[in-house]
Amino acid sequence: MTRHWTPLAVVYLVLAVAGLIVTWTFNAIAIAEGNDFIGDLVSSGPAVSSITNDLLFVAVAGSILIVVESRRIGMRFAWLYIIGSALTAFAFTFPLWLAMRERRLATRRAESDGDGAASAGAV
């Protein structure tokens, strides 16, 4: 199982965990203080609105990438990463998807290397 954890996949996984911890730390603070989370995002001035819209567009583009690339390489349940981002944070689910994508690509490389070695031995 750990065979296909490439260094790049581990980096993505660390980023996913860090994204989950950081975003949910601030979510917990907002909940504990009784803040209007959505209201704070849209009414705290142009700088916050700029960052919010910037991240929204990145999340939409990333979600499209998740669906398209997952279909291309045969990853199942891509929609769970998108739904998960609404329940946790895109800063968690996107790097997690990148880690799983890297593992999938490593598996495919290993399978194709195995097929090549098997067919070379058959000649």
Say which range, 24-33, 65-74, 80-89, 96-105, has the weakest mean pLDDT.
Answer: 24-33
Tell me: the pLDDT tens digits for 8-33? 889 889 998 988 898 888 778 878 88
Cβ neighbours of 111 (radius 10 Å): 10
DSSP string, 56-93: HHHHHHHHHHHHHHHHHHT-S-HHHHHHHHHHS-HHHH
pLDDT averaged over the chain? 84
Rounded Cα distance between 97 and 77, Å, is 11
